Chains A and B, each alone.
Chain A
Amino acid sequence: MGAVMVVINSGTEIEWRRRTTKKQIGIWLGWLVGISIILFAWSVISEKTVWFFVQDAPRQAADIGSRMIPPKWSYITKLLVPVWDTINIATLGTIIAMTIAVPVAFCAARNTTPHNSVRAIALFIIVSSRSVNSLIWALMLVFILGPGVLAGTIAIGLRSIGFCAKLLYESIEEIDESQVEAVKATGASNIQQMTYGILPQVLPTIAGVGIYRWDINIRESTILGLVGAGGIGLQLNGSINTLAWTQVSTILLVILVTVFISEWVSAKVRGAII
């Protein structure tokens, strides 16, 4: 925040203040409004809360926690296929998303868009894909395609288009134009300028964004089973509903390990590419 130095010469003494009085009042006012919003938000939430349950929560937590130990290790054999499905949902979903996100990003970037109206459409695709959570996409797709891995994959794909395209088009807008200009000066056609001047500059970003999103998608696809869209979430939901807590803890551990491995893999691949 730009702190303005103000030196006021009041009589003989020189006084230094960080901000002008007016600005100081504005800041206090900002705090006042902010805090009242927070207090109001809190009052709304607490009104709808049954405090008895909240007070009971620590005891509940201890109870559930004790029921989770020890994890039911033998259950892991039944989790292998769901984990395999979860990884496939994430990978294929990311591939679908990237194949659509790259052209959308080129349409959305100011310096490569064919026309402003195309840009507006591309930006709308990006924001609507981003706004709707993958679980909601999955909910809708299960209605259309029936429950299964396919619905989950497409849901992940649809959700990721906006995320990937947004990061990509921002990086396309930040490319070094002089490199494109140099290619243009050789007499290259528009599409050659694209493949020689622009693409090499954004290729690392394309790879990086894809891997980054894949990493996120592994996490996201662990929950799609809640609405029947495949993956390990189905087992999680079932185990919680039947109060099979030892299975729940096993599933959580498996998710933890899967996510750690995927994070390690993505870091390795990113290091190798960029």
Chain B
Amino acid sequence: MLKLSALTKRYDTGDLALNQVDLVIPDAQVLALIGPSGAGKSTLIRCVNRLVEPTSGSATLNDINLTKLSSRALRKSRRKMGMIFQEYALVERLTVMENVLSGRLGYVGFWRSYFRKFPKDDIKEAFRLLDRVGLLEMADKRADELSGGQRQRVGICRALIQDPDLLLVDEPTASLDPKTSRQIMRLINELCSERGLTAIINIHDVLLAQMFAQRIVGLANGEVVYDGKPEGLTPEVLTQIYGEEDWTATIEKVDEEDEEE
């Protein structure tokens, strides 16, 4: 269970990115975080694994208060939080396999990782994950040779090989075309339910959020303005999150379109 209480982040520039956010996410729940650019979505998930240091408040994962951890203990906790990035953030000049195995860095010592001598089980698991996302043949390709969708699959493998309890997903589809976006979202969703993972997914696309998440949280100006079921996203709610606009077309049901893949 992930619990955020009064989580606040004020950047050095004075911008208040998160304002007293309270959120409880039970195990195995997939939550979509929506909101306009600059609403604090990225800051929120980065405050959980402390790539961004929160100013005040706390984030607690399975009874461990992440905000209080020493840097050594933080590294240990980060192993249990897999992260998936907007621009994939693969180390482009390393091979696919190295990128996947880099998810195990928190578990192996420096020299082992330096000479790429990972434990046998890690390597097996890496191959299994690559096979699961359909990239087994790409293992020895360099990451910058892959297409956007393939890269994001590698990014997913890197997060999953950490054997995480929680997935932090930052705009996984922002650099992808609509079809690949859906495939990636479906994959993340399937993997979460296979492994019973909790996930926070930042996403721009309201439709995708509705299609794949069990719960939607709307963020505006660093505050939670909506928290509820995907069906609850009415034009009024969207106006509250994003501002005035004609929302009727956005929240139409799209199931038929979805089948044709």
Chain A contact residues, CB within 8 Å of chain B: 176, 178-179, 181-189, 191-192, 195-197, 200-201, 203-204
Question: Is there contact, CB below 8 Å, between A182 and B158?
Answer: yes
Whole-angstrom distance between the Cβ of A140 and the nearest chain B Cβ: 38
CB-based nearest A residue for B77: A187
Whole-angstrom CA separation of A197 from B102 in the bound complex: 9
Interface residue B81 (Cβ < 8 Å from any Cβ of A):
yes
Q: Separation in Å of the A176 CB from the closest CB of chain B?
A: 8
- Are the CB atoms of B83 and A185 closer together than 8 Å? yes
B110 partner, pick from A182, A183, A185, A189, beta carbons under 8 A: A189
Find chain A residues with CB under 8 A from B89 CB.
176, 178-179, 181-182
B78 & A186 in contact (Cβ 8 Å cutoff): yes
Nearest CB on A from B53, distance (A): 13
B93 to chain A, nearest CB (A): 4
Q: How far is the CA of A183 from the CA of B98 in the complex (A)?
A: 11
Bound-complex Cα distance A40 to B78 (A): 66
Q: Given the complex of chains A and B, what is the CA–CA distance between A189 and B103 in angstroms?
A: 12
Digit string of B109-129 for contact with A (CB within 8 Å is 1, else 0)? 010011000000000000000
Q: Is A196 touching B113 in the complex (CB atoms < 8 A)?
A: yes
B76 within 8 A of A: yes
Q: Which residues of B contact A (CB under 8 A)?
A: 49, 51, 75-79, 81-83, 85, 87, 89-94, 98, 102-107, 110, 113-114, 155, 158, 162, 168
A186 near B79: Cβ-Cβ < 8 Å: yes
9 closest pairs, A vs B, by CB?
A187-B106, A187-B78, A188-B105, A182-B89, A187-B79, A185-B83, A178-B89, A200-B93, A187-B75
Please name 11 further chain A to chain B contacts, defined as beta carbons within 8 Å, in addition to the given A182-B90, A195-B110, sorted by A numbering: A178-B89, A179-B91, A182-B155, A185-B49, A185-B51, A186-B104, A187-B106, A191-B110, A192-B105, A195-B114, A196-B102
Whether B91 and A197, one on each chain, are in contact in the complex, defined by CB atoms closer than 8 angstroms, is: yes
For the complex, give the distance between the alpha carbons of A195 and B93 in Å.
Answer: 12
CB distance from B82 to the nearest CB of A (A): 8
- Decide if B162 touches A186 in the complex (CB within 8 Å): yes
- Nearest residue (CB) in B for A201 is B93
Residues of chain B lying within 8 A (CB to CB) of residue A192: 105, 110, 113
Cα A187 to Cα B160 with chains together (Å): 13
Beta-carbon nearest neighbor of A178 in chain B: B89
Assembly CA distance A200 to B95 (angstroms): 10
From the candidates A179, A187, A201, name the one contacting B105 in the complex (CB within 8 A): A187
**Chain B's nearest CB lies how many Å from the CB of A225?**
41
Q: Are the CB atoms of A195 and B79 closer together than 8 Å?
A: no
Given A192-B105, A195-B113, A195-B114, are A187 and B162 also a contact pair (CB < 8 Å)?
A: yes
Do A178 and B85 form a contact, CB below 8 Å, given A183-B105, A185-B78, A195-B114? Answer: yes
Give the chain B neighbours of A204 by CB distance below 8 A.
93
Q: How far is the CA of A189 from the CA of B74 in the complex (A)?
A: 10
Q: Are A196 and B87 in contact (CB under 8 A)?
A: no
Which residue in B82, B91, B168 is a CB contact (below 8 Å) of A201?
Answer: B91
- B90 in contact with A179 (CB, 8 Å): yes
The docked-state distance in angstroms from the alpha carbon of A189 to that of B73 is 11
B57 to chain A, nearest CB (A): 20
CA distance A185 to B91 in the complex (A): 13
Alpha-carbon distance A186/B102, docked complex (angstroms): 8
- Asked if B91 and A203 sit within 8 Å, CB to CB, the answer is no
Nearest chain A CB to B2's CB is how many angstroms away? 16
- Is A178 a contact of B87 with CB atoms below 8 Å? yes
In the bound assembly, the distance between CA atoms of A204 and B92 in angstroms comes to 12
A172 to B200, CA, bound (A): 32
B81: chain A residues at CB < 8 Å are 185
For this complex, 8 residue pairs linking A to B, each with C-beta atoms less than 8 Å apart, are: A181-B89, A182-B85, A183-B102, A185-B51, A186-B105, A187-B78, A197-B91, A204-B93
Instruction: Point out the residues of chain A lying under 8 angstroms from B82, CB to CB.
Output: 186
Q: With a CB–CB cut-off of 8 A, which chain A residues contact B49?
A: 185
User: Which residues of the other chain, A, contact B87 by a CB distance below 8 angstroms?
Assistant: 178
